[in-house]
């Protein structure tokens, strides 16, 4: 009798050689939009959660010190050795720059043609080989798209695509206006079409150039930070919250200028303080030799870190320009979608835009948020309070009255703590409310906000929602430090 292993081999061999007939096999064409964010330094808590091996590989990717081969880590990846000689340091810096350049993509469009087989007879192994060869060949044809979307060179394909869209509108909008003018016998539509086309071309051109410039300056800043050889400084920059990553709120030109000015000051401050701190840290570790190395590192940082600050400032200003230019288009698209859609748009929950099963109540609340100060911020939750409605984004709490008027606008960063307390109503009856203690007095001097509720359970539920927002804001601030 055959052993179980031999029986399994026979079954596998039979399955591989068994022929299959397809009257019709169709795999539709696929388009993938691929964006790869830059590697960021892990906090101690994140490293503990990821595990020792994965955290080591993450750190090695950031330093360009990853080797692929026979290793014990995930996917056979092993971490290279530390840089101990001057030549190894230079080689490590170069590898870090190359790895970062190849791992940052911004909106690469990958197209894979479909597969259509009719009245086809094949085996499982033959079909697998055919599909594998098909998609590998398609991937080779997408290499130019991948290279052209590298953030390190300013995403030239994205710039060309944006200007192309602007040129298309520049030609199409006047034509649409002309046709409507003939139909309505009103020449004003031609003027409107020319204005819309010209505006679209200017918006796409300015936004595309600002985006490419911000990617180039951001890349330059990252590489110059590597050149400082100051790991603490590089990790601190990585953990900082970039304007480009703030998807929960709209960035304005004023916000970009403000953030850029702060980073400019920070660059000069880091350069000056590094001259003092680096020699001290070196002396504490290796005595006189460490002091000399720290002094050299500090002097290098004194030259390079202010340049990084200037480049960071330019990056944030360009991001502000791009966001301001594109906001009008996004707002118009949102309003058009609200007019034409059959049901309210599905919300994405929290900073991470978590996808959950569709709920009409949440979708309606998220749509209502677009008409308040929460517009552009990610949805967190809501509560129907009979004659009022509480809308919660990832940044603030807004309470609307029965006529849609704004009764309260409270940012979580101004909240110290939230409590549920019994109160006396205006008619003398007992009631419940949540009491919000602020860490920053409001313009009228008040340090407490009282939100009355219909019942104790309603107060507890609203307090829980507000506390979630406060915790989310606190966690975001900790990650950004």
Instruction: Name the phi and psi angles at 250, rounded to 5.
Output: -80, 135
The dihedral over CA atoms of 243, 247, 253, 254, expressed in degrees to the nearest 10, equals -80
Q: What would the pLDDT profile of 292-344 be if each residue is shown by its tens digit?
A: 888 888 888 888 888 888 888 888 888 888 877 766 555 555 555 555 556 77
Contact criterion met (CB below 8 Å) for 469 and 394: yes
CB 363 within 8 A of CB 344: yes
Reported pTM: 0.52
Q: What confidence category does residue 3 fall into, taking pLDDT thresholds of 50, 70 and 90?
A: low
Do 107 and 155 meet the contact criterion of CB atoms below 8 Å apart? Answer: yes
- Higher local confidence (pLDDT), 76 or 97: 97
Alpha-carbon span 477 to 470, nearest angstrom = 11
Starting at the edge strand found earlier in the chain, the sheet holding 415-424 runs: 415-424, 430-438, 448-453
Determine the Cα–Cα distance for residues 179 and 353; give it in Å rounded to an integer. 42
| pLDDT score recorded for residue 143 | 85
Q: What is the pLDDT of residue 69?
A: 47
pLDDT, residue 360, reads 86
Virtual CA dihedral for 234, 239, 245, 247, nearest 10 degrees? -170
**CA-CA distance, 108 to 379, in Å (whole number)?**
28
First to last CA, the chain: 68
Lowest mean pLDDT among 64-78, 397-411, 413-427: 64-78
Closest CA to 308 of 320, 319, 300, 297: 300
- Give the integer Cα–Cα distance in Å for 116 and 111: 16
């Amino acid at each position: 009798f055959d052993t179980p292993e031999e029986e399994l081999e026979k079954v596998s061999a039979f399955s591989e050689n068994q022929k299959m007939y397809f009257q019709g096999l169709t795999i539709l064409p696929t388009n993938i939009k691929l964006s790869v964010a830059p590697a960021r330094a892990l906090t101690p808590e994140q490293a503990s959660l990821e595990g020792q091996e994965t955290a080591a590989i993450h750190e090695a990717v950031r330093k360009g010190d990853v080797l692929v081969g026979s290793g014990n880590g995930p996917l056979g990846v092993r971490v290279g050795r530390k840089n101990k000689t001057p030549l190894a340091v230079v080689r490590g810096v170069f590898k870090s720059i190359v790895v970062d350049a190849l791992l940052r993509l911004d909106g690469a469009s990958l197209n894979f043609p479909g597969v259509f087989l009719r009245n086809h007879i094949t085996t499982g192994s033959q079909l697998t080989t055919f599909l594998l060869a098909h998609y590998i060949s398609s991937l080779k044809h997408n290499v130019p798209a991948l290279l052209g979307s590298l953030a390190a060179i300013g995403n030239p394909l994205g710039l060309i695509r944006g200007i192309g869209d602007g040129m298309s509108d520049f030609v199409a909008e006047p034509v649409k206006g002309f046709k409507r003018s003939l139909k309505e016998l009103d020449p004003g539509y031609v003027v409107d079409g020319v204005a819309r086309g010209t505006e679209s071309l200017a918006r796409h051109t300015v936004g595309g150039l600002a985006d490419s410039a911000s990617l180039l300056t951001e890349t330059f800043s990252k590489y110059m930070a590597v050149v400082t050889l100051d790991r603490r400084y590089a990790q601190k920059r990585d953990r900082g919250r970039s304007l480009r990553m703030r998807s929960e709120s709209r960035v304005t030109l004023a916000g970009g200028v403000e953030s850029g000015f702060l980073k400019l000051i920070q660059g000069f401050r880091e350069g000056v303080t590094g001259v003092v701190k680096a020699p001290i840290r070196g002396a504490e570790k290796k005595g006189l030799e460490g002091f000399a190395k720290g002094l050299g590192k500090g002097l290098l940082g004194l030259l390079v870190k202010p340049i990084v600050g200037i480049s960071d400032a330019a990056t944030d200003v360009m991001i502000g320009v791009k966001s301001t230019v594109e906001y009008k288009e996004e707002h118009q698209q949102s309003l058009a979608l609200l007019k034409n859609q059959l049901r309210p748009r599905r919300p994405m929950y929290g900073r991470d835009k978590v996808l959950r099963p569709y709920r009409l109540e949440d979708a309606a609340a998220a749509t209502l948020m677009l008409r308040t100060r929460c517009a552009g911020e990610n949805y967190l939750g809501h509560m129907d309070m009979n004659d009022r409605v509480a809308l919660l984004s990832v940044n603030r709490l807004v309470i609307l009255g029965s006529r849609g008027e704004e009764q309260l606008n409270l940012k979580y960063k101004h909240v110290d703590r939230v409590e549920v307390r019994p109160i006396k109503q205006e008619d003398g009856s007992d009631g419940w409310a949540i009491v919000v203690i602020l860490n920053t007095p409001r313009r009228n001097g008040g340090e407490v906000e009282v939100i009355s509720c219909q019942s104790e359970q309603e107060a507890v539920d609203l307090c829980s929602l507000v506390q979630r927002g406060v915790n989310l804001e606190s966690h975001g601030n900790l990650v950004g430090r």
